[in-house]
Structure 1
Amino acid sequence: MSAARKIMLITGASGGIGAELARIAGLKGHDLALVARNRAALDALADEIARYPGRSAPRPLVFACDLAAPGAGAAVESFLAEAGAEPEILVNNAGYGVLGAAAESDFSAQLGIIDLNIRTLTELCLRFSKALIANNGRILNVASVAAYMPGPGMAVYYASKAYVLSFTEALSQELAPQGVSVTALCPGPVPTGFGDRAGFGDKMGFVKLAYVSAQDVAQAGYDAMMAGQRVEIPGLLTKIMVFAASLTPKALLLKNVAAMQLRREKEGAE
């Protein structure tokens, strides 16, 4: 029986940070499995990576899947098993948010945030834990600067990222003795398709000053993961935002975040 194909599994790989992580990993020679809803975008990215000069790994595996749907984790596992592959690195990048007051926003979309950002991320970490331990593997979970503060106006999204950070840090402590490093990537504002799905496009107001490109965020996340860091916050201004949030009284922080989201809503409607 031949040995399993050792791959880096990247969710949300069709664009943004996920696609940039795939490109970086592809250039580094990793064997990849790319998962997202958009099959055409995944195939285009897999073809691009397969053409990298000097690359010896085969064309990345591609699996089109709605990771928020029931049974998605089992479907990913079955796909990899049929391909004779198992993860030695897991990158949980898939996620989305919804702009607006929680009680007034789309109910199913908000529950979908919990399904994708929390349930699926947790399931993949646990479902593939034995393979990751056997391979002395690595996990990179994409959280957000939102993990460090409550988010009125995007309450479920911010809460989901607080979960990702907390879960990742705890898991890093649990799995370290078994040879697995677990890293939380906490970017600030990144110009990707996230804003379009969330409902504010590129309307970020003053926080645009803290923009870090998807490529730079991906590089910072990859480097931190490979170094075994527990948490990475890309960008000096993003680090300052996190530090300032820790010093700001909660009542004032809540008002400031709520005002920022309200500006996004107004600008997005213009």
Structure 2
Amino acid sequence: MANHKSKTALVTGAASGLGLELAFLLAKDGYNLILIDIDAQKLDVAKHKILHNHKIEITLLEKDLSKVNIAQEIYNDLMSTEIDVIVNNAGFGLFGTFHETDWERGLQMLNLHILTTTHLIKLFLPHMVERGSGKILNLSSLAAFQPGPLMALYYASKAYILSFSEAISNELKGTGVTVTVLCPGPTKTDFQSVVSEDSSENKISFNMACPKQVAAYGYKAMQKGKVLSIPGGINKVLSFLPRLLTRKRATKIVRKIQDKNREV
């Protein structure tokens, strides 16, 4: 077991799903935790579950991560705390044609996936570089590798996270700071319940992954300093397929899958 008793990890979307599983793994390795989520009740439950098995310090922050400039608010709250690990896990999906979906909900998703994720890293990264150590784990998706009709904003935002993570990982070579981007396929978490009743994310059972296994795979990749982490052999193949097809063909295939699952 690694000894990180003097180190602190920040995890967003930590009240359930992959965020909670990653928090458990960090606690097992002795990291003190800062858990951030919009659901205060679930956060408190998560805290007690973790403390039942691990003697660490846990700070809870109830924050709406879809709000503009929320990253600055979090940074101001934690200015006296040295952050060694950042896990940008929080996220949700939005299903439907772009012209019909609710713009306010779409805007919240873009703020969360793109602005908050980027701004948190922008604020804390200079301190990591100055110390010469730090780890960042960003949650993207298998969706990042191709356009996604009927979930256009979600797929596009996850593509941003993938591209951004790979780019800054390259910039940080030799600094002692690493960036890992985790790109899971369908995973059995609360994500499905906040997309849409009509979403294919609610219907897909094929290749559905266990959150514990996905979290463990991504956590191991982060600790090793790997850049890209795609759990599951099928997902690795699927991530490669768009390179063999035209983007038009890949887009049509995704649309057919989304339509078929919507009809289930």
Q: Which consecutive residues of structure 1, in runs of 5 or more, have no partner in the other structure?
A: none
What is the match of residue 9 of structure 1?
10
Q: In the aligned structure 2, how far is the partner of 1:257 from the partner of 1:220?
A: 26
What is the match of residue 204 of structure 1?
203
Does residue 116 of structure 2 align to residue 120 of structure 1?
yes
| Partner deviation per Cα, 1:86-116 (whole Å, 9 max, x = no partner) | 2110000011110111111111111111100
Q: In the aligned structure 1, how far is the partner of 2:192 from the partner of 2:241?
A: 24
Does residue 73 of structure 2 align to residue 75 of structure 1?
yes
Change beyond 3 A, Cα 1:250–1:71: closer
Q: In the aligned structure 1, how far is the partner of 2:70 from the partner of 2:201?
A: 30
What is the match of residue 33 of structure 2?
32
* Aligned 8 A contact 1:191 1:202 in 2: no
What is the match of residue 131 of structure 1?
127
Q: In the aligned structure 2, how far is the partner of 1:250 from the partner of 1:95?
A: 25
What is the match of residue 22 of structure 2?
21
Does residue 163 of structure 2 align to residue 166 of structure 1?
yes
Q: In the aligned structure 1, how far is the partner of 2:13 from the partner of 2:86?
A: 12
* Aligned 8 A contact 2:132 2:175 in 1: no
- Number of aligned residue pairs: give it: 256
Please point out which of 154, 157, 165 is paired with 2:151: 154
What is the match of residue 57 of structure 1?
56
Q: SS where residue 111 of structure 1 aligns?
A: helix
| Partner deviation per Cα, 1:176-226 (whole Å, 9 max, x = no partner) | 221100000000000111111111376334xx3322111111001100000
* Aligned 8 A contact 1:6 1:85 in 2: no
| Partner deviation per Cα, 1:100-142 (whole Å, 9 max, x = no partner) | 1111111111111110000100000101012222250000000
| Partner deviation per Cα, 1:222-242 (whole Å, 9 max, x = no partner) | 000000000000011111111
- Once the two structures are aligned, what percentage of the paired residues are identical? 35
Change beyond 3 A, Cα 1:226–1:252: same
RMSD between aligned alpha carbons?
A: 1.5
Q: TM-score, normalised by structure 2?
A: 0.92
Q: TM-score, normalised by structure 1?
A: 0.90
Q: In the aligned structure 1, how far is the partner of 2:209 from the partner of 2:117?
A: 24
Q: SS where residue 202 of structure 2 aligns?
A: coil
